[in-house]
Each structure stands twice: as structure tokens, then as C-alpha cells.
Amino acid sequence: MRPTVTELWCDRCGESAAAGPHPGCAAARVLEPPRYCARCRRRMKVQVLPVGWSAVCVEHGEIRG
């Protein structure tokens, strides 16, 4: 995972994306929704549905997958 201007944090573990690659997180993200906002590091409210998932950050809104 390479950090962009808006992706400062790993969306799975919440650690700094600039600290280096997160191979375990990248592998887990194939099957799991994000748990942390990549922009602000806040823990997100995640809902998993049979047809996908949604994750909501109170600051940056909702993403779906």
C-alpha cells in the first residue's frame, strides 16, 4: 500500500502508511472491510451485509465495497 496525499494511515491496522508496507493488512483487506479512516485514523463504524459492506467515518463520510 502506497500512501497518497489523503491516505496517511493504514485502513486496517491504523498505523502510519508511510512506515512501510503492510503485507498482512493488504492480504486481509481482500476479504475484510477497512476498520480505520485512511485520512484521519479514526475508527470507523463498519456494517457487513450479504451484498457488500459500508464504513462510516464521522469526519469524512461513508465508503462502500
Domain spans, the chain: 17-64
Confidence of residue 3 (pLDDT cuts 50, 70, 90): very low
Q: What is the DSSP string of 5-51?
A: SS--B-TTT-SBGGG---HHHHHHTTTS---B-TTT-PBPEEEEETT
22-50, pLDDT tens digit by residue? 999 999 989 999 999 999 999 999 999 99
Report residue 2 CA to chain centroid gap. 13
Which pLDDT score, from 0 to 100, does residue 19 have?
87
Spatial distance between the Cα atoms of 39 and 17, rounded to a whole number of angstroms: 10
pTM: 0.81
What is the pLDDT averaged over residues 49-60? 95
Which pLDDT score, from 0 to 100, does residue 6 have?
66
Spatial distance between the Cα atoms of 34 and 46, rounded to a whole number of angstroms: 8
Q: Is the pLDDT reported for residue 2 higher than 70? A: no
